[in-house]
Amino acid sequence: MLHEPTKTKLYALKLNGMADAYEEQRAQSRSAELSFDERFGLLIERQWLWRENRALAARLSHARLKQPACLEDLDFSPARGLKRAVLDQLSPCDWVQHHQNLIITGPTGCGKTFVACALAHKACREGHRVLYFYAPKLFRTLSSATADGSLSKLFKKLAKIQVLVVDDWGLVKVDERQCRDFLEILDDRHGHGSTIITSQFPISAWHEVVPDPTVADALLDRLIHNAHRLELKGDSLRKRNAQP
């Protein structure tokens, strides 16, 4: 019988999905009732699914999302101010195709990070490259890259990301150099990538975070003019979930 050499060669060719489906077909007597084309089609379908699942796992690993969130798990309670119709509009990720941004604001603990990660997760499922940064960590990374001479390399890396998530913008004040670096990131991505920003501060207060008013105007110009805005409300979900 040639089935063992065949299976070995399929794995050697990295056709793991096809190899698994081939073994399953051999174990199922009813598979003999199918035509060659039907059986072969099932093998191809399994290989395609295996490759897509593997690629998705790689994108999610690279994204380093803070929370394993999915759109299907979102809470649309009226008190939260999160509208299902808006999320249904964003779900197909046309906003990524059109290089639009998302700005998610609301009080501490209202679920901004979860919503951002759910939308980023959906972008990964749609085949887009995503990268998550906690805002203070992003600025520390920029400072470190400046110190070791790798800032240009970091800029190029971030410019290629299709969806960049910057979580908790405005949580800590940043110096003028860091703001200019962030402006360069946004400028490189403008018209080429999408950015998700979460903040507990309303957009009207973002000028207070940036030392230079001119840089603040430039940042806002690149972020908000082509952005979808989600304004969450309500009490802290962390506090509510912690209650017995």
Segments of the chain scoring below 50 in pLDDT: 238, 242-243
What is the predicted pLDDT for the residue at 125? 94
**Tell me, which fold does domain 65-242 have in CATH?**
Rossmann fold (3.40.50)
Identify which of 128, 90, 133, 80 has the alpha carbon closest to the alpha carbon of residue 229: 90
Q: For residue 75, which amino acid is it? A: D
Query: Do the beta carbons of residue 156 and residue 192 sit within 8 Å?
Result: no
Query: Do the beta carbons of residue 140 and residue 73 sit within 8 Å?
Result: no
DSSP string for residues in 106-119:
-STTSSHHHHHHHH
Residue 37, both tokens: 């084309």
Domain segments of the chain as ranges: 3-62, 65-242
Residue 154's contacts (CB-CB under 8 Å, 6 or more residues apart) are 141, 142, 145
Distance separating alpha carbons of residues 219 and 182, to the nearest angstrom: 8
What is the predicted pLDDT for the residue at 160? 94
What is the predicted pLDDT for the residue at 243? 47
What is the predicted pLDDT for the residue at 19? 83
What is the predicted pLDDT for the residue at 1? 52
Residue 237's contacts (CB-CB under 8 Å, 6 or more residues apart) are 75, 109, 110, 111, 114
